Each structure stands twice: as C-alpha cells, then as structure tokens.
Amino acid sequence: MTTLTLVKKTSFTVVSLATTMLLSICTPVRAFMFGTGGIQFDQDTKINFRFNNSRSPYQSSLWVAQAESGNNGYTNIARLFYETQPSDNGSANNWEATFGNAVTSDNGSITQSFTFLQDQIYALLLWSDTGTGKPFEQYVSSSTFMNSPQWWAAGTQFRREECLVAGCQLAVFGDFMLDYNSSDSFANVNGGKGPEQFSSLIMAELANGTKISFDDAQPGTELDFKDFTVSAELVPESVPEPLTVFGTILGIGALAAARRKKKRGQ
C-alpha cells in the first residue's frame, strides 16, 4: 500500500467517523414531552422555574409530581412555590399575590431548579385551598395524571369522570398573553387562539424561556388561565458545538496521517 493510498484511506475513515458523530449530535431528542401529556426527557434535564404571578382568592402551592409505576398514581416530590396567604392585600388587584409578600419558596429564592430524571414521567401540580377544610384541591398541568384515582378536584366545575372522557386542560404552555385587567376570554385575549393551541412546548421554547399558567377552576367562572403563572427555562449544559467537534476530529485525523507519511518517508 502506497503512502498516498494510506493517507486517502485514513482521511476517508476520519471523515466517516466525524460525519457519524456529527449526525449523532444533531439527532433530535427521541423521547421528549412538556405539556398536557406530561413532562419527560430522554436524559437528566435541569429546568429553572421562576415565579411570575398569582391572581386567585385561593391559597396555592405549585409542586412537581412524578408518575408511579404503570401511571396508576403519582407522588408529589418537590414544592416549587407556595402562598403563605391568598394574596398581598385581600381582593386588591384581583387577589394579586407577589413573591416576598404572600408567596415564597422553601429556600426563599424566586427561582427554583429541578432536575427531571431520564425517561421518568412528571407533571406540574397546583394545590389550592378553596376553604373547604379538606386537603388541598389538585389542578394538574397533565391530563395524563387526571387518569389517576388520586387526582381530586372536589368542589369545582370539573369531575374526574369527565376528564377521563374528554380531558380537562387546566394549564397552558408557551407564548400566550394574559390580561389581568380584563374579563375577556383567554381565546379573545390571544387573538382567537384557544388553550388547546398552547398545550405543549418544543425544546427550543424551553431553551429560550417560556411561560406556564394554571386555572384553578373556580366554580361558575370561565377558564382564563391566569390564577398561577411561572416561567420555565432549560439550564444549558457544557456540550461541544457539533461543528467544533467535527473540526477537531478532522484535525486529529490529518495530523495522524501526516505523521504516518513522515515516518514511512524516513
């Protein structure tokens, strides 16, 4: 085998390897969902949640819940934010509750991080005390979790049986608009787009930062999805840029080929 042939063969192998790695790096995430179907990633993924606003006469707390085996139940595993009282000042500003006044977190920070583990199914779950004296009513961001016998929204306009048939969307995700000074419907505020058009996120939206907002289904009121709002943003990892990796591999291959050529020449 000539030196030229060896160099060509080596270069071809390096390019093939680099191409394979580049395609692998650029391959879309296989198992990803973030919306009314639940939350799932194909690798451990950290998300930052930041409290935005609460406008409801109920006293609420927002949790991360994890599905149990077979999705027959769920367990609340992390409390993100909670209200110490229903609002800052009674019904002022539509029962507004702000962070540091009526809202806090376990560590006192307005931003909370949570790592979703690979292939596990989660949901965000809003617990709201409606004054019944019973355990907090539960309003989940995932309609999948409503299939669990543990889901309960007593005293509301929703019933589990109805949600099993048609689903009950109690959270919206994405670039939606909220008007706290208007009684207009969610669809009208969003130019005719109903909540069903804000039912899930793509990874790019999480990377850029996006909103999630709940409706706590107060009886006799239209769903406006402005009762408890947070923002969510993907925490970036130190992953090499695909083209940087590609260039590095080509450089290593060329250097190895040159060294072989020099050695054979000697």
pLDDT tens digits, residue range 153-180?
666 666 666 676 666 788 999 999 999 9
Q: In whole angstroms, what is the distance from residue 54 CA to residue 95 CA?
A: 8
Q: What is the DSSP letter of 17?
A: H
Higher pLDDT: 59 or 217? It is: 59
Longest dimension (CA), the chain: 90
Least-confidence region, from 7-11, 115-119, 216-220? 7-11
The pLDDT of residue 85:
93
pLDDT tens digits, residue range 107-155?
999 999 999 999 999 999 998 887 766 656 777 888 777 767 777 666 6
Q: In whole angstroms, what is the distance from residue 246 CA to residue 258 CA?
A: 19
CB atoms within 10 A of CB 162: 12
Q: In whole angstroms, what is the distance from residue 252 CA to residue 229 CA?
A: 50
The pLDDT of residue 223:
84
Q: pTM for the complete prediction?
A: 0.75
Higher pLDDT: 72 or 232? It is: 232
